[in-house]
Chain A
Amino acid sequence: MKKRRNIRLLLHAKLQSFSKLKNFRGYKKGEWTGFYFVLPSFLGVIIFMLLPFCDVLRRSFLGAVSGTWVGLENYRTIFDNTAFRLAAGNTLRFEMVCIPLLLLISLLVALVLDDKLKCTQLLKSCFLVPMAIPVASIVLLWRALFHERGMFSGFLHFLNLPGEDWMNTPWAFWILVFSYVWKNLGYDVVLWMAGLAGIPANLYEAAQVDGAGKWQCFWHITLPNLLPSLFTITVLSILNSFKVFREAYLVAGNYPHESMYLLQHLFNNWYRDLSMDKMSAAAVINAGVIFLLVLLLKRAWDFGER
């Protein structure tokens, strides 16, 4: 492993000196050629994303009706808004529950699959399939499952337990968590398996020679080596968690049970009321939170590189 890297470095150094000599180098430093390739896309990004977002930023300081400068008034309004607090609290709670749950389950599955089972590929495909199933097509199943007289209630009835109209109880939150884990399990398993594959086999061999058991190997080699992956997988999972709104919305509509009223519902409802002031302030705050998350992710990447 190390030897190969050394050879690569050597090759690289040779190439560089060669390029300097001949003044050839893919695209030279400080040269704008590469930029022309980026330009069309960048123009689109400016027109369709950056400029409008600046406009949103500006609007977040303006009054809704008057259109005059109101400073931080809008921000104060949304923080006093009970719906915003409920939605932000729920979203936070959702993240705190489902991310650790998903990470743990997917890690366990990845560890088992990594053991070179005969059917690893088949099982991995099964876990990835939910990514391909359009949310809209499972709405019917969700209804049939969690209806008061649905399959889940029927199962509980079989165990002599009472059924409920699940989507209208605090259980709705857990159904959402379940949907999220169901949808993203395969994605995270693939990520964990890539992380596991990156751990050099000779580490395990050396440990086994020194008489380390399976658990010791796991605690002292596998886990520490997965740490860089953990950061990135966490952040990617959080980003995927925003998409759970699709399930929530399609199954329960604009005003679901309050245990699963997420920030996305709130945005949607504000959009229908055209509450520009509140929306823009909330968008700016959300963008800020995501910005922090991305910084974390970047640090994780740099960390992984070292």
Chain B
Amino acid sequence: MKRKIILFLLAFLAFVAVYPICFLFTGALMGKGEWSQSLAAMSGDSGYVQFPLLPLFPTLKSYVELLLDSPEFFVMFWNSVKLAGGILFGQFLFGVPAAWGFAKGHFPFRKGLFTVYILLMMMPFQVLMLSDYLILDQFHLLDTHLGIILLSAFSTFPVFIMYRFFDGVPDALIDAAKLDGASSLQVFLYVGIPLGSPGIISAMVLGFLEYWNMIEQPMTFLKSKELWPLSLYLPNISLEEAGAAFAASVMALIPAIFVFMAGQDYLEKGIVAAAIKE
């Protein structure tokens, strides 16, 4: 009996956790008549918002309108893809070798340098906001995607996650490869990357969820609306266009959920890697 109560509570909590997804999918499948009736209370002064769990008259109209009639949606979506893709590519290009170097190198000041990396990874955006602004201004990169991509490509968080995984690659393997005459670069490419790939994927999954959701950086450094990613566009849709807002929200949600489902194991590994030293 006690067990059942606990299970029920947990199930309730889990429902609260996933409810927003149901809300969005349901809303996006409603016709204009239905959602405006559901949300009517927010603009009038009687009654309360009542949202059904499933749409009574499901229709794909909102999607059709969004995908056919609002070209700006595609621009925003593409902006999001460009930003997240560019950042992840940069993090891969610079972060993976750096993590390998920290994990397997023995150069002087290695520990001190790594501490600097950890420090930087902990800084919230607002602390670095002014310095980011100064450097972008210097390079005339304000109001460009490249500026934002560059700032985040050198983020030290993925280096830290991947470091944890590279650290677990046995030294004996490296020695064996060296014995067979592999150069440092070859060791990295043929031993390090394959064995550290779970770490790389973990960092990329965490990174995608983070940057797909990026709000502060574009809000601060992008003035032109046509450069905005989806995450800034969504909150600005007015209540009268709730149908489009629902459909656009679902479209923004789908890539994130897809990455989440495909990479959940890696996501969990990545979360744990930041906290527990093996």
**Cross-chain contact B252 with A287 (CB below 8 angstroms):** no
**A97 contacts the other chain (CB 8 A):** no
Give bound CA distance, A215 to B112, whole Å: 44
| Cβ of A54 to closest chain B Cβ, rounded Å | 9
User: Which residues of B are found within 8 Å of A291, using beta-carbon distances?
Assistant: 119
Check A140 against B275 for contact (C-beta < 8 Å): no
Complex: A14 Cα to B72 Cα, angstroms: 64
Main secondary structure, interface of B, reads helix
Number of interface residues of B (CB under 8 A): 110
- Return chain B residues, CB-CB under 8 Å to A11: 172
Contact string, B31-54, partner A, CB cutoff 8 A, digits 1/0? 000000001011011011111000
Q: Is A143 an interface residue (CB 8 A)?
A: yes
Q: Is A232 close to B, CB under 8 A?
A: yes
Q: Which residue of B lies closest to A127 (CB)?
A: B17
Given A130-B17, A229-B276, A280-B130: A26 in contact with B104 (beta carbons within 8 A):
yes
- Among A134, A263, A304, which residue has its beta carbon within 8 angstroms of that of B213? A134
Among A48, A109, A123, the most chain B Cβ lie within 10 Å of the Cβ of A48
Q: Is A47 an interface residue (CB 8 A)?
A: yes
Tell yes or no: B75 within 8 A of A by CB.
no
A264→B219 CA distance, assembly (Å): 13
Give Cα A187–Cα B260 distance, bound, in whole angstroms. 13
Contact: A294 with B122, CB < 8 Å?
Answer: yes
> A249 an interface residue at 8 Å Cβ cutoff?
yes
- B150 CB contacts on chain A under 8 angstroms: 44, 48
A211 within 8 Å of B (CB atoms): no
Choose from A40, A126, A163, A279 the contact partner of B98 (Cβ within 8 Å). A40
Which bracket fits the contact residues of A? 35 or more
CB-CB contacts below 8 Å: A149-174 with B: 149-151, 153-154, 157, 163
Q: Which residues of chain A are within 8 angstroms of B64 by Cβ–Cβ distance? A: none
Measured CA separation A11–B47 after assembly (Å): 73
In the complex, A66 has a CB within 8 A of chain B: no
A228 to B203, alpha carbons, bound, how many Å?
24
Separation of A195 and B7 alpha carbons in the complex (Å): 22
| Cβ-neighbour of A45 out of B24, B101, B117 (below 8 A) | B117
A297 to B122, CA, bound (A): 11
Q: Which among A28-36, A73-81, A199-207, A216-224 touches the partner chain?
A: A28-36
- Quick check: is A38 within 8 A (CB to CB) of the other chain? yes
Which chain B residues numbered 261 to 278 have a C-beta less than 8 Å away from chain A? 264, 267-268, 271-272, 274-277
B104 adjacent to A149 (CB under 8 Å): no
User: Which B residues are in CB contact (< 8 Å) with A44?
Assistant: 94, 150, 153-154
Contact bitstring A29-69, B, C-beta under 8 A = 1, else 0: 11111111111111011011111110110010000000000
A50 to B105, CA, bound (A): 23
Of the candidates A126, A137, A150, A233, the one whose C-beta lies within 8 Å of that of B249 is A137
Assuming the A-B contacts A34-B105, A137-B253, are A126 and B131 also in contact, with contact meaning beta carbons closer than 8 angstroms in the complex?
no
Tell me if A290 is interfacial: C-beta within 8 Å of chain B: yes
Given A31-B106, A117-B7, verify A149-B174 contact (CB < 8 Å).
Answer: no
B124 to chain A, nearest CB (A): 4
Contacts across chains A and B counted by CB atoms under 8 Å = 310
Contact in complex: A25, B175 (CB < 8 Å): yes
A298 within 8 A of B: yes
Contact with A along B2-46 (1 / 0, CB 8 A): 000011001101111110110110010000000000010110110
Which of B14, B51, B271 contacts A151 (CB under 8 A)? B51
List chain A residues, Cβ under 8 A from B271: 187, 190-191
In contact, B107 and A31 (Cβ under 8 angstroms) = yes
| Contacting pair A129 B131 (CB below 8 A) | no
Asked if A130 contacts B98 (CB within 8 A), the reply is no
A-B contact pairs, 9 of them (CB 8 A): A27-B106, A53-B128, A132-B256, A139-B235, A140-B27, A150-B48, A191-B275, A194-B275, A271-B130
- A-B contact sample (4 more), CB < 8 A, given A37-B188, A182-B17: A35-B105, A44-B150, A182-B16, A191-B276
A interface list, Cβ under 8 A from B: 11, 15, 19, 24-42, 44-45, 47-53, 55-56, 59, 109, 112-113, 117, 123-141, 143-144, 147, 149-151, 153-154, 157, 163, 182, 185-187, 190-191, 194-195, 198, 229, 232-233, 236, 239, 242-243, 245-246, 249-250, 263-264, 267-268, 271, 276, 279-280, 283, 286-287, 290-291, 293-294, 297-298, 301, 304-305
The 10 closest A-B pairs by CB, nearest first: A34-B105, A154-B48, A37-B101, A52-B131, A137-B249, A41-B98, A44-B154, A242-B124, A126-B14, A136-B234
Binding site for A on B (CB under 8 A): 6-7, 10-11, 13-18, 20-21, 23-24, 27, 39, 41-42, 44-45, 47-51, 93-95, 97-98, 100-102, 104-108, 110, 113, 115-120, 122-135, 150-151, 153-154, 156, 159, 171-172, 174-175, 178-179, 184, 187-188, 209, 212-213, 215-216, 219-220, 230-235, 239, 242, 245-246, 248-250, 252-253, 256-257, 259-260, 264, 267-268, 271-272, 274-277
